[in-house]
Each structure stands twice: as C-alpha cells, then as structure tokens.
Amino acid sequence: MGNVIAVDSISKLVTDARKEIQGARSSAELDQLETKILGKRSLLAMAHRELGELDLEQRKEHGRQLHEARQAIEKIIEDKRADVSKREREQRLIAERVDLSEVITDEVRSTIGRGKLHVVTQTCDTLVDVFVGMGFVVEEGPEAETDWYNFEALNMPPAHPARSMWDTFYLELGEPESVVLRTHTSPVQIRLMEEAARKSSLPIHAVMPGRCYRTETPDARHLAVFHQIEGLVVDEAITFGDLAGTIETFTRAYFGDGIHSRLRPSYFPFTEPSAEFEITCTICRGDGCRTCSGTGWIELGGCGLVDPAVFDAVGIDSEEWSGFAFGFGIDRCAQMHYQIADMRSLTENDLRFMRRF
C-alpha cells in the first residue's frame, strides 16, 4: 500500500488537526494551518495522490474515508474561523474606542491638525448670513434640472440663441424633455415663483445658493463645477433702484468699507432691463491692476428686473407684481475676498493652500 496513510490513522489525522486548529489564536495562524493540513503538500493530499496504488475496492473505501476526513477538518476550520474573527473584531473595537470624555489640552490640540470647512463653504455661509441679515430667506433647488426650468421658463425657448451663453452638460436628450446639470441657479427662481403662484404666497424675498455646471475649460477665473447664489424679490412696485440699493448694501456688508458696486447694461433673456454688476477690485481697491485689466472693477454677476415673460410662464400677474433677480459666483466672491490668484486652487485640495483659510 506504499506510503498511503493507513485507514486507522485517518481518524487520528482528524483528531490531531482538531487539536492544532483549536490552538490557533489568529486568522493568520489559521490560514497557515489550513495550508499545512489541507494544502497540496499535506498528508491528506499525499494520501489522495497515492490512492492510485490501491486496488479498486480499497481505493473506494480509502477514498471515501479521506473525503470524509477532509470535510470534517474543513468544518472544524470554518467554526474556528468564525470564532477567531469574532474575537478579533471585538479586540479591534476595543482598540479603536474613542474616549469622548477625554480632555484635550491646548498643548495636545496644537499638535493635531483640525479639519475645517472648505473656503467656498465658508464663503457661502457668510454670504447667506449677510442676506439673511437683510431679510432674505434661504431656498434650494435640484442640480439636475429639466430643460423647462433651466431654459424655457427663463424665456429661452428651444433654439433660442441665448442658450449658447451657457455651455451645458446634458444628462438626457430629448423626449419627453431634456435633463441638464443646471448651468446657473436661476431655475430655482422659477420653482419658487411657481410655488408662490400656486399657493398664493407672494411676496418673495429669497436667496438660493448652490452648485452649477458648465462644459468650460477651467482657467484662473472659471471652473466647470462652481457655485452661484441667486437672489429673487417679487413684490409690489419693485424698481431698478431697489435692485441697485440691495446690491450696494450687500457689497458693503460683505466686502467692507471702500468696496462699492456698479451696474453696467447687459443682456439676460429673463430680466429686462438687465445688468452686470461689478465691484471695486479688491486687489488694487479701484486704482487699476492686472487682475481687473486696469479698470478698477471686477464682474461678480448678473441681475435685472424680472421679465414679464417669466411672470407669464410661472403664472404670476405682471400687472400686479414686479421683481428683481440677481445671480453671482460664490467661488468668484471667495477669489475676490481672499485675493486668490487662480480659482483652480479651490479644487486642488492642496493642504498648504487650504490651511490659509
């Protein structure tokens, strides 16, 4: 019978294996034992290989016994592994336990880096605070928008040339309606006005911060994913003077003394008249420098009086109500406020840069 393990030794093999396996203290040790007992070079595997030397009857009987032994050992290993894993997990939980009552002294604190909010989030929070202080409420809308909200209700029917002002990411094209990643926060205006018309809950005084997307190649003043804050006021007898006054009040409150705003005629399909609003360049404080191309002014956003066509689209009577809207870049604001030369630094997650704010 060559070297084939004797039948009565098979049960001893299982007994010995059980003893060894029971003694294992870790998953790693168990893995090693599994290879030793069941692997290619194990006694069991050798015995299997030598079965061919036996006659048919013996081979059958011996083969069955070896198979049962292997199954028994596998089961012992499986049970032990469950046991060991459970123990290892308990030990890990104990090791990783955080003592929430532990007192951290200033000395210890100064040695550990503490996380903080991203500078764009900080800027957004401050902008919102300023507007809330001026009596605005804060609203939000979805980032994936239908064509209706992003374009059509904003007085841009399909094929309107002004659509090309916004390089658009399309999520779904066509039927029943295209879905886009919003190119600006202006669709939230439409949602608010529709809701107010439905619930007869005018007037509206709201700001709407959020993320926007454009298929633009990032450069020092543009990102493909950026943030805007939209403002909307719908009330009785709103004038362009109300808009200009709101923007100037905000500019002084946020940027501080010496920084002013000015409005320059512009075009947006959803406002009439429309303007771009600019603030005193925070780098040269109006003297003229490279950043502001020598003009002393930097463009922050667009604004205007709500176009009656937009009121019609959302079901608000433009004879009774009037309003203004504005929208500007939060990243652009952060760039101006902290004098960040290249806007792309905001997305590169370089800790040396992030720690400045």
Which of 10, 180, 204, 223 is close enough to bind ligand FA5 by CB under 6 A? 223
* 323 binds ligand FA5 per the rule CB under 6 A: no
* 131 binds ligand FA5 per the rule CB under 6 A: no
Closest CB to ligand FA5 among residues 47, 325: 325
SS3 180: strand
Torsion of CA 233, 235, 238, 241, to 10 degrees: -40
**Continuous H helices in the chain:** 7-22, 27-38, 43-49, 56-95, 106-111, 119-133, 147-150, 186-199, 240-255, 308-314, 330-338, 351-354
- Of 240-299, binders to ligand FA5 (CB under 6 A) are 268, 271, 299
Backbone φ and ψ of 132, nearest 5°:
-65, -40
Closest CB to ligand FA5 among residues 225, 284: 225
- Of 226-245, binders to ligand FA5 (CB under 6 A) are 226, 228, 230
Which of 182, 184, 191, 337 is close enough to bind ligand FA5 by CB under 6 A? 184
Residues in contact with ligand FA5, total (CB under 6 A)?
A: 24
What element of type H or E holds 226?
strand 225-235
- CB 30 within 8 Å of CB 21: yes
Q: Which range, of 50-58, 73-81, 111-119, 223-231, touches ligand FA5 by CB under 6 A?
A: 223-231
DSSP states of 62-93: HHHHHHHHHHHHHHHHHHHHHHHHHHHHHHHH
- Nearest Cα neighbor of 234 from 137, 127, 130 is 137
CB of 335 to ligand FA5, least distance (A): 9
CB of 320 to ligand FA5, least distance (A): 21
- CB 213 within 8 Å of CB 169: yes
Binding mask 303-322 for ligand FA5 (x = CB under 6 A): xx------------------
Closest CB to ligand FA5 among residues 149, 268: 268
**Two structure tokens written together for 128:** 């919102």
Closest CB to ligand FA5 among residues 24, 223: 223
Which of 263, 282, 326, 340 is close enough to bind ligand FA5 by CB under 6 A? 326
Closest CB to ligand FA5 among residues 80, 184: 184
CB of 224 to ligand FA5, least distance (A): 7
SS3 18: helix
* 337 binds ligand FA5 per the rule CB under 6 A: no
CB of 253 to ligand FA5, least distance (A): 18
* 156 binds ligand FA5 per the rule CB under 6 A: no
**Two structure tokens written together for 177:** 């309606």
- CB 260 within 8 Å of CB 252: yes
Which of 62, 70, 214, 337 is close enough to bind ligand FA5 by CB under 6 A? 214
Q: Cα separation of 305 and 325, whole Å?
A: 6
Binding-site ranges for ligand FA5 (CB under 6 A): 184, 186, 214, 216, 222-223, 226, 228, 230, 268, 271, 299-304, 325-329, 331-332
